[in-house]
Amino acid sequence: MTKNQRQFSIREIITKQDVGSQEELQKLLKKAGHKVNQATLSRDLSEMGVTRRASPEGPRYTIGQNDEDSRVRALLSYEVRGIYSNESMIVIKTLAGRAHGVAELIDSMVSPFVLGTIAGDNTIFIAPRATKDIKRLTNELRAFITSE
């Protein structure tokens, strides 16, 4: 197993499921066929820009954003006009011409609750992985958009 293969597996695991500790991540990597010690895992997480963020379920690992994303995210609350949902999807309304940029940042969230996004000029359609997660995803999106 190469470093790139191991780090690809780490990224894949973190983006597909909630992981709250290195011990839990080690077990998931072992299950995926990658035996790794704590020191190596810690170095990989640091190199990859993986951070732990608070969530309602406790701390969770997320893939870090680059500085440009952080600066752009600070403008999100000004570009988004509203977040709406029904029983099957979420719609975000933005300023004219900003839906593509906002959708790209939502995609960068790598949320386990987002199946996909489609952006028009000022409207984004978000398909959740499961309809039971719509309220949770809507709250996550609001927190993402209003955080700086």
What pLDDT shows up at residue 89?
Answer: 95
Alpha-carbon gap, residue 42 to 131, rounded angstroms:
35
Query: Residue 59 contacts by C-beta under 8 Å, 6 or more apart in sequence?
Result: 20, 21, 52, 53
pTM: 0.55
Task: Using the predicted structure, report yes or no on whether residue 69 has a pLDDT greater than 70.
Answer: no
How many domains, the chain? 2
Q: Is residue 7 packed enough to be buried (19+ CB in 10 Å), middle (13-18) or exposed (0-12)?
A: middle
Task: Using the predicted structure, report yes or no on whether residue 55 has a pLDDT greater than 80.
Answer: no
Task: Using the predicted structure, report yes or no on whether residue 72 has a pLDDT greater than 80.
Answer: no
Residues 16 and 73 in one domain: no
Residues 123 and 82 in one domain: yes
Residues 7 and 57 in one domain: yes
State which of 63, 98, 113 marks the end of a domain: 63
Radius of gyration of the chain (CA): 17
What pLDDT shows up at residue 2?
Answer: 81
Question: CATH number, domain at 14?
Answer: 1.10.10.10
Residues 90 and 129 in one domain: yes
